[in-house]
Structure 1
Amino acid sequence: MTQEPVFEQSSGNVFADLGLSDADELFTRGKIGIQVLRLLKKRNLKQREISELLGIPQPEVSHLMKGEFQRFSEGKLLIFLKRLDTEITLHLRPRDASGQSAETVISL
């Protein structure tokens, strides 16, 4: 007799599913970091060139290219996007839809 596999619905955030206390922060870093990697891979640059472009030492480039985004703050990853000629827009609004405040948009 074979046992049926057990599946669990994901929350959409693998870090939260794993029960990590800083899940939202890790998820945000991952989403930004993946975008940085996509842009860098499109340019087909050597690590030395990436180091100069992003203003970080070559060993840090190596960590970035391996997807070790936890080594970089969200702010630092956003700076990398700007240095890669990416327009960044932040939308700030209350989590609760019944909130009275208007949405705020910030372009960086």
Structure 2
Amino acid sequence: MTQEPVFEESSGNVFADLGLEDASELFMRGKIGIQVLRLLSQRNLKQREISELLGIPQPEVSHLMKGEFQRFSEGKLLIFLKRLDTEINLHLRPRHASGQSAETVISL
């Protein structure tokens, strides 16, 4: 007898689906980190060159290239994007807005 596979719909955040306490932070680091990796792969740089460009030791470059984003703060990953000549805009607004609420945009 074959058992039908069980599927569960994702929330869109794999870390939340796994029940991790800091799921939204891990998800944000992952999204930023993947963008850093995309930009680095477009440049086709050696790890030594990436180390110089991002201002981190070569062993940390190795961790970054393996997708170990939990080793870096969100701030550090954003600094990497800036060093990769990326314009960053943060949109700040209340999570649960009632009526008209102000939004603040910060360009980094």
Instruction: Please indicate the TM-score interval, normalised by the length of the shorter structure.
Output: over 0.9
Offset of residue 100 of structure 1 = 4.2
1:5-64 deviation per Cα after TM superposition (whole angstroms, max 9, x unaligned): 111010000000000001010000000000000000000000000000000000000000
1:81-105 per-position Cα deviation (integer Å, ceiling 9, x unaligned): 0000000000011111425431110
Using the alignment, how far apart are the partners of 2:39 and 2:97 within structure 1?
34
Larger mean CA deviation between 96-105 and 38-47 belongs to 96-105
Cα deviation for residue 3 of structure 1 reads 1.4
Q: Partners of 1:61 and 1:2 in 2: how far apart?
A: 46
Which ranges of structure 1 fall in alignment gaps of 5 or more residues? none
Q: Secondary structure at the match of 2:35?
A: helix
Q: Distance in 2 between matches of 1:40 and 1:21?
A: 30
Size of the aligned set, in residue pairs, is: 108
Give identity over the alignment, percent.
93
Question: CA RMSD for the aligned pairs?
Answer: 0.9
TM-score, normalised by the number of residues in structure 1: 0.96
Unaligned runs of 5+ in 2: none
Q: 1: CA distance between counterparts of 2:99 and 2:78?
A: 28
